[in-house]
Structure 1
Amino acid sequence: MRRLDTEVDRRDPIDRSDRRLIDYLHGGFPLTDHPFADVGRALGLSEEAVIERLKRMLGNGTLTRFGPLFHIERAGGQFVLAALEVPEAEFTRICALVNSLPEVAHNYRRDHQLNMWFVVAAVSQQAARSALDRIEALTGLRVHAFPKEREYFVGLRLLADTGEDDDTE
């Protein structure tokens, strides 16, 4: 699976402080007046260093997202996983059309008959359906929609330690 909305240069390696920061943030983000300063204090970094490290890792693709996750359904909204069968010659053009909609949160290429998968996040079921209908109209392709029926919480934590003993700061 390959993310389509960003071309990434991952040649910029992460150091031990980056790995510690990623691991720390997996455990939660402080809801305080100065959360980046609080994170930095816990890790022996300045507030500015925390912010700059996050910006760098987002910019070079080490991190693809940093922000809250909401249970959109509790507020009346809806997430819908959807897929298209896109002719290879049209893939780049269709990708740009799909990504142009503000409701499209993720877009991935798959080695499958349904070769473009994306997530629509909308404020209501009607808004999600409208976004999917717009995608069909824009692309001329049938959208296969898979709305979330149930959610399971899996406490997955990915440790950023690569096994290297890099002290680069």
Structure 2
Amino acid sequence: MGANALPELDEFDRQVLHALQYDFAVTERPYREIAAKIGTTEEAVLDRAERLYAKGLIRRLGASLNSRQMGYVSTLVALKVTENSILPVAKVVNAFTGVTHNYLREGEYNMWFTAIASNEENLNAILHSVAASPGVEALLSLPAKRVFKVSVKFPLVAG
């Protein structure tokens, strides 16, 4: 599938993807509940979810925790990285377990990532380590002043 190509989804794919986003219950057998809602078996839902995951259409299934409420600190980081250092710097950034996103952008600051840590000291250690990486010319730490959380869901079935 090319970068701009839309995936081929049949109606069952759409039903499963929709249900995983909107109807995933925190119960002992959530896939059985989804199956009952869309008129199939638990095994069929699990099988299709595994195939959609293998195709890269499902990135992850899991809880979204409020890290601030749990006492964690985070920041968005913008890096100015030399072109020939992109991959080595990405490896350094991605080695930290607190990095949740890392992506390239056009412009002077061409690599951006988010980092979460248990306290300011640990977050600063990540930032200092990244800043010291060969090829990093500048680092901007942009912690959120106010959070506006949005729920991103993709409606895939009518109604």
TM-score (norm 1): 0.77
Query: What pairs up with 1:22-61 in 2 under 5 angstroms?
Result: 22-61=17-56
8 A Cα contact 2:75 2:114, kept in partner: yes
Question: What residue number does 1:128 align with?
Answer: 123
Q: CA deviation at 1:44?
A: 2.1
Q: CA deviation at 1:156?
A: 4.3
Question: What residue number does 2:156 align with?
Answer: 160
8 A Cα contact 1:84 1:114, kept in partner: yes
- The letter for the 1-side match of 2:56 is G
What does the per-residue CA deviation read over 1:47-80, in whole Å, with 9 as the maximum and x for residues that have no partner? Answer: 2332332232233222223221111000100231
**Structure 1 residues 90 and 39: CA distance shift in structure 2, 3 A:** same
Identical-residue share of aligned pairs (%): 27
Question: What residue number does 2:145 align with?
Answer: 149
Structure with greater contact order relative to length (CA < 8 Å, sep ≥ 6)? 1
TM-score (norm 2): 0.82
Computed over aligned residues only, the root mean square deviation of the Cα atoms, in angstroms, reads 2.5
**Structure 1 residues 128 and 35: CA distance shift in structure 2, 3 A:** same
What does the per-residue CA deviation read over 1:14-68, in whole Å, with 9 as the maximum and x for residues that have no partner? Answer: 3212212222232242111111221222122322332332232233222223221
What is the CA–CA distance in structure 1 between the aligned matches of 2:128 and 2:109, rounded to whole Å? 17
Q: How many residues align?
A: 155
8 A Cα contact 1:103 1:122, kept in partner: yes
Structure 2, unpaired ranges of 5+: none
